[in-house]
């Protein structure tokens, strides 16, 4: 049997995770990296706009500041969700698109050019299976 938890447990767990991510000395960030772990870009997470659903426990991150000038050129492969101290708490694949994708960092393009702006459209950490 696959695991399943109550919605209340997911909401509590994901809420605690979001609180941890919002912590630290600075603002939390989303770091975009290529498949070779090269840092391509960094966006600042909006603490107030990032939420944990009170119904499902899904975490949705809002962006406070997009990357105005990418650090390096490359193809975005994955995103790291970091707290304000730079500690990585989650990683997810980057995908190109225009609508949110559960468990992914959605960007307008995966092709990042050094010195150019980078737009993250959404990033989510979905809760898992719930007891029916």
**Which residues of the chain are under the pLDDT cut of 70?**
1
CA-CA distances (angstroms) from residue 66 to 12, 25, 70, 100, 119? 29, 20, 10, 17, 6
Q: What is the pLDDT of residues 104-114, one digit of tens each?
A: 999 999 999 99
Q: What was the pLDDT predicted at 89?
A: 98
Q: What was the pLDDT predicted at 105?
A: 98
Q: What was the pLDDT predicted at 98?
A: 95
Query: CA 96 to CA 99: how far, in whole Å?
Result: 9
Which helix or strand (DSSP H or E) is residue 107 part of?
strand 104-107
Q: What is the pLDDT of residues 25-46, one digit of tens each?
A: 999 999 999 999 999 999 999 9
Q: What was the pLDDT predicted at 1?
A: 53
| Two tokens, residue 15 | 């809420």
pTM: 0.94
Q: What was the pLDDT predicted at 49?
A: 97
């Amino acid at each position: 049997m696959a695991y399943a938890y109550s919605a209340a447990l997911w909401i509590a767990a994901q809420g605690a995770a979001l609180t941890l991510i919002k912590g630290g000395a600075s603002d939390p960030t989303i770091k975009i990296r290529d498949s070779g772990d090269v840092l391509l870009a960094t966006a600042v997470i909006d603490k107030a706009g990032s939420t944990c659903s009170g119904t499902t426990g899904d975490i949705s991150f809002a962006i406070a500041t997009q990357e105005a000038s990418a650090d390096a050129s490359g193809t975005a492969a994955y995103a790291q969700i970091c707290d304000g101290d730079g500690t990585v708490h989650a990683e997810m694949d980057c995908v190109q698109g225009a609508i949110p994708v559960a468990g992914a960092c959605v960007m307008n393009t995966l092709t990042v050019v050094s010195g150019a702006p980078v737009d993250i459209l959404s990033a989510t950490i979905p809760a898992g299976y719930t007891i029916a």
